[in-house]
Every structure is written in C-alpha cells, then in structure tokens.
A and B are shown apart, each in its own frame.
Chain A
C-alpha cells in the first residue's frame, strides 16, 4: 500500500492568521508551492519542510507525518 505524507500546515497557518501568500513570502517560495504542499499534491524536500517548520515555529514531525 502506498504511503502518503500528511500535514497540518493549513491548521497551523490558520492559528497564526496567515494567508498562503504570507506564508510563502516568509518561507521564500511561491504560493503555488504552499498550496500544493498543504493539499498533499506535492511532497516537499527536507529543506523546505525544515523551513516551513521554522517559520511556523513547530517541530517538523508535528507538521508532517507519514500515513500508511
């Protein structure tokens, strides 16, 4: 069975009251990338996952996890 990377980026972004564009600006990526990562369409690199975790002030394993 295929494994899938899930995340709670949208929830955390909502807690901070940021839009996708604001998060994208802080991380230094396009809004499209934030959008596709949030929706599970695109699996981010380790570098991007760590950047997102740093900006959202949460450990990376709290934001991302693997679902079997």
Chain B
C-alpha cells in the first residue's frame, strides 16, 4: 500500500466516522423534536378535556387553532428546505442525508394529507364534519388552486433554470413540492384567519 492509498484510506475512515456522528446527532435532534411535539399534544388534549364543550364550540376552537397553525407550518416547512440546499455536493447518499430526505418526505406527505382531508384525525366524526362545512371547503379549494398555480409556475421557472444550470430530478421535485405545499398552506391560513376575524 503506497502513501497515497494509505492517506485515502484514513480519509475515508474519518469521513465515515464523521457521518456516523452527524447521523447520531441528527437522529437525537429528530427524536427530541418528536418528544416535544408529543408532549405539547398531550398537554393540549389534557387541557381541552377539562372544559366540556358542545360540538360547535369544539369545532370552532379547533378551526381557530388550525387557522393559527397553518402559516406557522408553512414557515417551518420552508425553513426545513435550508437543510436540503445546504447539503454538500455528492453527499446525498450519506446516511444522515437519507434521514433528512426521509424526514422531509414524511412532513410533505403529512402536510399534503392535512390539506386534502378533513385532518384532526383523532377528533370525533361530528366535530370533523362541522369543521369541513362549505365555507371551509371553499377556502380549501381556493388554497389548493393557489398551490397548484404556484407549483406550475415554479416548474416553469425550474425548467428555464435548467437551461443555464444543471438541476437534478430530485432538486426539481423538491423545489416544486415545497412551493406548491407552502403556498397552499399560507393561502388557506390567510383565508381561515380572515373568516374568523369578522366576529
């Protein structure tokens, strides 16, 4: 084994060790985030159970909560994209990057499900039905329309960008989904907040 081979081998070993540490830290962060999320959900659930409410009151409360949550979710979703674009070129197959990509994909699918369904899956059916009345449906349809138009606009922009700068398929999908979902979330949040504001 020559000197160059020996140095290359040592660098590879160091790199693997570094990746292992990064993944452990990232998984730890992910688990801590999940634990905080679950704790908040349990506290909210416990606090809500202490106050008996009619179906309309409960639907109203959750609807207002959703209106507040939607823009915040959009911001969290957008800021998460910084991680994707900050990754080192060629590092996309590193274990830590796979975990990051999976986390992004899971969050995207959860947000899409929240946009496309009645969401609040743990609530009674009567409450969920009331939260999905025609005003909410109209707001959701409008938000989906905006999301679709922004996704298409972004696709055109990525297509044009591809003429000047190489864009991988994964990057293109990532950018288009991000803008489509974030726009729909923001628009729905704005419409819901406006609907609640005229009290």
Contacts and interface: CB of A to CB of B under 8 A. Distances in A.
* Majority secondary structure, B binding face: helix
A65 interface: no
A30 B130 contact: yes
A30 B194 contact: no
Given A30-B131, A31-B60, A25 B55 contact: yes
Q: Most A CB atoms within 10 A — which of B56, B57, B196? A: B56
Given A25-B54, A25-B55, A42-B195, A33 B135 contact: yes
B199 interface: yes
Given A29-B133, A39-B198, 13 more contacts: A21-B57, A21-B60, A30-B56, A30-B63, A30-B133, A31-B59, A31-B60, A32-B195, A33-B134, A36-B198, A41-B195, A42-B138, A45-B134
Interface of B: 54-57, 59-60, 63, 130-131, 133-136, 138, 192, 194-196, 198-199
29 contacts: A21-B54, A21-B56, A21-B57, A24-B56, A25-B54, A25-B55, A29-B133, A29-B134, A29-B135, A30-B56, A30-B59, A30-B60, A30-B133, A30-B135, A30-B136, A31-B56, A31-B60, A32-B196, A33-B134, A33-B135, A35-B198, A35-B199, A36-B135, A39-B198, A41-B198, A42-B138, A42-B195, A44-B134, A45-B134
